[in-house]
Amino acid sequence: MIYEKIFRHAVGREAKVIIKGEKARYSNNIVVELEFLVKDTHDLNFHQPIGKNHPQYWKLKKSTPERAYYLQLEYSGVSRKEILETVKEFKLTIGSQFTFRYKTPLTERIKYLKGIRVNAASRKILMAGA
């Protein structure tokens, strides 16, 4: 089962949260995995937040798979509220008879996730370019 939701951010970036759920064989557990993709105004397709041309690519390659996952989440610009909203919609779509388990622990790690922040100065720059 796959559920996708796109969020438009103030800086001209779109972030896509993809939730993939796989039912365990002999139980009512669903293993949930999240993926984060971004698309800037000049891009045609969604892509990973940290690609080969990104300044933090070296950090991603040196990291453990779990840490790399959290780096992709952090650089996607998705906020805690947006993630929880998407997960809630996915759970409503699937139904209440299932128990959900994250493939990579998520709830504690997103406690302080803020998403993309736009201050007054950058908001003026964005509005001038639009």
pLDDT tens digits for range 30-58: 888 899 999 988 889 999 888 888 887 88
Strands (E), the chain: 2-8, 14-23, 29-39, 99-102
For residue 113, the model assigns a pLDDT of 58
Q: What's the predicted TM-score (pTM) here?
A: 0.77
Total domains in the fold of the chain:
1
pLDDT higher than threshold 90 for residue 83: no
For residue 59, the model assigns a pLDDT of 82
For residue 76, the model assigns a pLDDT of 84
For residue 126, the model assigns a pLDDT of 47
Which has more confidence, 13 or 5?
5
Q: Tell me which residue range forms the domain holding 21.
A: 2-129
